[in-house]
Amino acid sequence: MEPVNDFQEGISTEHAFEAEPVPSLSETITPRSMVVSFILSVTLSIVAMKVTLSSGFIPSFSIPAGLLGFCVSRASIRILDYFAVAQLPFTRQENTIIQTCVVACTSITFTGGFGTYILAMGKKAAVGDVNAQNNVEEPSFARMITFLFLISFAGMFIIMPFRKVMIIRHRLTFPSGTATAHLINSFHTPQGVKQARKQVTLLFKSFGGTIAWSLFQWFFASGPGCGFKFFPTFGLEAYKHGFFFDFTMANVGIGMMCPYMIVFSVFIGTIISCGIIWPYIESKEGIWYPSNLGPNSLNGIRGYKVFIGLSMIMADCLFVFLCIMVRTTCAMIKRRRQAMQGGGGNAQPFQGIDIADQPVKSFDDRRRAQVFLRDEIPDSVTIGCYVLLSIISIAAIPHLYPQMRYSHVALIYLAAPVFAFCNAYGFGVTDMNLASTYCKIAMFAFGSWVGIKSGGVVAALVAGGITMSILGNAADVAQDLKTGYLTLTSPRAVFISEAIGTALGCVVNPTVFWVFYRVYKMGSGDMGDMPYAKLYRGFAMLSVGDGEQGLPRHSMLLFKVFFVLALALSVFREVASRKEWRIRRYIPSTIGMAITFFMPPRVPVGMCIGSLVAYLWEKMDAGRGRMLSPALASGLICGDGVGSLLLSMLTLMGARAPICIKFLSRGDNVKLDAFLATLHDMR
């Protein structure tokens, strides 16, 4: 996929806004935008935390943040107008600032490792691990906040010197950032206002309805196994294998927002893993592995789950990584040749850029480039800040995690700029952020370096966390700069908003996580699946060379077999896409199938229901379905997240549900009636 110019618009976007002056920095970052950003950041961080802890899937919040930012700001303007309070007009630039700040805050839910490496260090994920004595670090509230402040800002500073290269010279697309920018631009036209009002109305209806549904379910869940979430939707036999709908609206919303192919892949993977492979391996209990082990022991059934899923993810990540590197290299060579043919043969890759030197073809390009290059952030400042942060992190991180040495942290920060640019460039070309792939590479490198006896598992997870945070945040900043470029938002304003959102996320996300974690420790939460935490723990165990010791029989053989099968599937899918074969639409995603080895079937069931709802809606009314289904899905996800937080607060306050509803087979019901009758006679 080659970088292309901005969308070829029949009517110039910037001509529609030509009469509006570009607001100054103080008119863009306003008290109103900061208040709205804070409210939405806290709300969506709660939602993102609930989703990442329970299912591991994190949908993009760029469009919901832009939509909610627009509507909440317009609502606040009407309220202030009612009280005759003077205020600045709400512009698309301010809308972009809100969206940037909110996404910067919520993205730390993923890059901060709350559902991945933070939980993977703890005792819950380490159950059954061998040599776990020096390889466990329980989550600590103060340590999490300190660690996040150390690692979350480096990516912002290191990517800024490359902003002109990627956005002006190479004109990278950043498809998601471009789509968000066009959405924000459309909101600030008369037709866009009407469409946004419909979307937000439906969003708030589904949001309120989902919260009410969560509270309603709570009244019938007074004990273990109680409540509607244990309803045997497809019968008791399917329920025993985990196939049932648990009425979690977040999973339905995720299914509505995910591409059909991803949901289809998850469905196929669930059938293969939970419907075929696990029942067969469970039949070998006592032969392949001891029968007296718990379900979380790496020496038992969990060992097969971790290493089979791990092999498929490794194969897909390796193939995708190589493809992205080849595409990125070819794109850079092509751009370089074009520049040399155009008379720019003596230009250096990262020197200053003059508007006159660029092949600007339209009024929109000239206008956007002028604003983008007007507010300069000196490269010396951003590079100096990165160096300062690196020194502080090198000195502090080994005190937070003694398994890491100063040389380990220094090497990560030394190599990060190169990989950050590669990842951001690939993100702009393909819309795929490979920060988690680089994270796994770092885990293997540092885990094997430190070794199991010196705490290599924790060292691998910390090294991967630092890498993922720097590279992931750098790619997100590059995408937000593209959004700002297309909405005439000053890059300085985007950077400041990004910094504010990141600082807010370093406080809000650990707080939200700690509430959920406390409830989970009390045994009243539903976060016990931790699919990605188990995955990352498995990666770390494999990296220190301790993966095969104590594992059940044939587990490493199955690892190799499924690695080859997954690699073959990835190659076949790529070839089919390149050749444009018709069958390409029906080839499942390897990563989508692999993640089902770490999650219970009820999550994919909910996703399939959501995807089916979206599909039928688009079939019946394509226009309204495409316009409103993202809003409905966002409301379901947000409502479920806020509802979970309310239930967590009830649990922490000692509240107990008054009713227990259970679903029993006919035979169990007869036995229960006989038992109750015996008790009645004894009285």
Per-residue pLDDT tens for 276-331?
A: 888 888 888 888 887 776 665 666 777 787 778 778 877 876 787 677 677 767 77
Mean pLDDT score, 677-682: 77
Whole-angstrom distance, CA of residue 590 vs CA of residue 246: 26
Res 547: pLDDT? 47
Phi-psi map region of 137: left, alpha, beta (phi>0 left; psi -120 to 50 alpha)? beta
Kindly state whether residue 340 falls inside one of the protein's structural domains.
no
Res 12: pLDDT? 61
**Using N-to-C axis directions, what is the helix angle for 491-521 and 92-111, rounded to 10°?**
40
Model confidence at 365, in pLDDT bands (50, 70, 90)? confident
Whole-angstrom distance, CA of residue 600 vs CA of residue 534: 13
DSSP three-state, residue 527: coil
State the DSSP code for 116: T
Q: How many percent of the chain have pLDDT more than 70?
A: 85
Domain span at 516: 17-334+375-668
Kindly state whether residue 620 falls inside one of the protein's structural domains.
yes
Whole-angstrom distance, CA of residue 561 vs CA of residue 76: 58
- pLDDT exceeds 90 at position 224: no
584: exposed, middle or buried (C-beta count within 10 Å: 0-12, 13-18, 19+)?
middle
Res 127: pLDDT? 63
Q: Which residues contact 522 (CB under 8 A, 6 or more apart)?
A: 651, 652
- pLDDT exceeds 60 at position 200: yes
Res 539: pLDDT? 77
**Using N-to-C axis directions, what is the helix angle for 491-521 and 141-151, rounded to 10°?**
160
- Do 535 and 310 contact (CB within 8 A), yes or no? yes
How many other CB atoms are there within 10 angstroms of residue 53's CB atom?
Answer: 27
State the DSSP code for 402: T
Instruction: Give the pLDDT confidence of 320-346 residue by residue, as tens digits.
Output: 767 767 776 777 777 677 767 665 444
Structure-model confidence comparison of residues 146 and 310, the more confident one? 146
Res 190: pLDDT? 63
Model confidence at 394, in pLDDT bands (50, 70, 90)? very high
- pLDDT exceeds 90 at position 500: yes
Mean pLDDT score, 608-631: 86
Kindly state whether residue 5 falls inside one of the protein's structural domains.
no
Kindly state whether residue 57 falls inside one of the protein's structural domains.
yes
Total domains present in the chain = 1
Kindly state whether residue 508 falls inside one of the protein's structural domains.
yes
State the DSSP code for 7: P
Ordered DSSP codes for 444-505: HHHHHHH-TTTTHHHHHHHHHHHHHHHHHHHHHHHHHHHHHHHTT--HHHHHHHHHHHHHHH
Kindly state whether residue 94 falls inside one of the protein's structural domains.
yes
Closest by CA position to 253, among listed 611, 517, 593: 611
Report the range out of 346-350, 500-504, 549-553 with the highest average pLDDT. 500-504
Structure-model confidence comparison of residues 72 and 185, the more confident one? 72
- Poorest-pLDDT segment among 179-183, 348-352, 588-592, 638-642: 348-352
Kindly state whether residue 269 falls inside one of the protein's structural domains.
yes
Mean pLDDT score, 179-207: 75
Res 506: pLDDT? 95
- Poorest-pLDDT segment among 126-135, 631-640, 648-657: 126-135
Kindly state whether residue 363 falls inside one of the protein's structural domains.
no
Average pLDDT, the chain: 81
- Do 443 and 543 contact (CB within 8 A), yes or no? yes
Instruction: Give the pLDDT confidence of 102-143 residue by residue, as tens digits.
Output: 999 999 998 898 888 888 888 777 665 555 567 888 888 999
Q: How many percent of the chain have pLDDT more than 90?
A: 22
CA 188 to chain centre: 28
Structure-model confidence comparison of residues 495 and 66, the more confident one? 495
Model confidence at 492, in pLDDT bands (50, 70, 90)? very high
DSSP three-state, residue 321: helix
- Do 524 and 272 contact (CB within 8 A), yes or no? no
Amino acid at 358: Q
End-to-end CA distance of the chain: 77
- pLDDT exceeds 70 at position 215: yes
